Structure 1
Amino acid sequence: MPSGLSSPRCRPPGLPDLGERSAFVGGQRVDRVRRRRRPPLARVRRALGRLLLLLAVPAALGLGVRWLLTTPRFAIASIDVRGASRVAPERILAAAAIEAGTSVFRLNTGAAASRIVAIPEIRRAEIVRELPDRVVITVEERRPFTLVHAGRLHWLDEEGRLLGPSSGAVAPAVPVVSGLPEEELAALRTAPGPRARAAIALIRALLRSGSALTAEISEIDMSRREGPVLYTVDGIEVRLGAEDWEERLARLEGVLAQVATQDVRTVDLRFRDQVVFQRGGSR
């Protein structure tokens, strides 16, 4: 009798394999695999575009720099010198060695400024490009401070640097320095020596005192080992010693007032709490 149940002796009807994928689904997966292995054409084009851009930017920059360095638009046409009063502008221009017609962008401003500062009378130099075709040189000159006797009179600045010979008969407002050794004088154009610095320090001490001593002292002799020797406008020799200058200068002002009417040739202040006089060749 037929029934819905099959006999155990009969082969069961075949059931479809639910795990099998249709050809449609399988085809989709195959296509996806193919797309991963072969990049799209748009991606290749983007990569080529980036590469071309990377190559084009340096080339454009190089062409731009070359144009800036060669175009007559930025060729130096004028050079102005400012701040010079004692040093002739022609001397500064010769030291700078800037050629007209050179591109302002080729100019090595640091090297040119260093050449200008090599002039003894120049303290600082600054070089500025003013586009399109001008260069401005601004200098700060060293100021004459006192005179040093070196065969002839030469100016010293406030640091003790030798500036150059005096152009004429000049009476400085501070004492003249003498007695510097030859080797120190030869080096003063590049760097102040120890005795020159000491003389400048002594002059500063005189100026700080605010007394009339600055006008009374005409010369500072730095040649002696025991310290500076001052000479007054009246010819009195003052042995100051190597230390305690400000205290000794304060004493000197009173001493000079006391001996103004006496025949005093030498005043020795090197001893503490004691002043030694020498009159007419005897103490």
Structure 2
Amino acid sequence: MKKPFRLRFEAKKNRLKRHADEVLREIGRALLLTGGIAAVTALLLFGFDLTIRSSTLSIRETVVRGCKELTEKDILTLAAIRPAANILTLNPDAIARRIRTNPWIREVFIGREFPDRLVIVIRERKAVALLQKQGGLYLLDSNGAPFKRMESGDEPNLPVLTGLVREGITDEALVMKSIALLIYLADAKDIPAIGAVSEVHGNETFGLSLFTETGLCLQL
């Protein structure tokens, strides 16, 4: 009876030993894997730190394209890019947001040309008319949006839309009809010359009246 019991005990002890060895091996593998990951991470962080500190990736040139109403200096001032900033650590979205605070800006695109050039491409709004409202004149784009109040230095040689704002409410439909008319007259080649349009007056009853710089009045 003793021998079988001793054999069972030895077998159980051997199984426990093998299990313990397997556990130790698994722990060793886990430690090696963790150590390897930590080492690779440390190397990556070290390399990234060296990269962002490298003068090779410092911005040496900023190119601005698409300026018409605004100047390159205007855009660079709005962009507020730190001198010798690293091209990798720049936030293009933040730069674009700052540039878009100018009402002339319709779209902004920020691009990187490695290793040291930043490219800013802007698309400006095009003023097609002036809208008389609230005691002032406002520049209108081709979508009928008044994007800024006219100031000294803005283009004054634009047709003025009058009678389209009543009691503080803009007649959007007449505004769009007026703009469509101006665009058509500017592009049309097969109509008699009427001279430069100076004013388009809107009336909710009679519609639009067009005035030219030569004194001609057309009821439309």
Q: Is TM-score (shorter-chain normalized) higher than 0.5?
A: yes
CA distance in 2, matches of 1:99, 1:84: 22
Gaps of 5+ in 1: 1-16, 185-192, 239-248, 250-283
Check the 8 A contact 2:178/2:208 in 1, yes or no: no
Cα offset, 1:29, TM superposition: 5.2
* Equivalent position to 1:203, from 179, 183, 189: 179
Cα offset, 1:236, TM superposition: 3.6
Check the 8 A contact 1:159/1:197 in 2, yes or no: no
What CA deviation, in whole Å up to 9, does each residue of 1:63-106 have, x standing for no partner? 23323332222111110001112211100111111122111122
Counterpart code for 1:118 = T
- Identity over aligned pairs, percent: 26
* Alignment partner of 1:86 is 2:66: no
* Equivalent position to 1:157, from 141, 146, 152: 141
- Please give the residue correspondences for 1:121-270 in structure 2 after superposition, counting only pairs within 5 Å: 121-148=104-131, 155-160=139-144, 161-162=146-147, 164-165=150-151, 170=157, 175-179=159-163, 194-195=170-171, 198-205=174-181, 212=191, 215=194, 218-222=198-202, 226=205, 228-233=207-212, 234-236=215-217, 238=219, 249=220
Cα offset, 1:139, TM superposition: 0.7
Cα offset, 1:213, TM superposition: 8.0
TM-score (norm 1): 0.58
* Alignment partner of 1:99 is 2:85: no
For CA contacts below 8 A with separation 6 or more, give which structure has more relative contact order.
2
Cα offset, 1:197, TM superposition: 6.3
TM-score (norm 2): 0.71
Counterpart code for 1:202 = S
RMSD (Å) for aligned C-alpha atoms: 3.9
Corresponding pairs, count: 209
In structure 2, do the counterparts of structure 1 residues 55 and 197 end up closer, same or farther at CA, with 3 Å as the change threshold?
farther
Greater strand share, 1 or 2?
2
Gaps of 5+ in 2: none
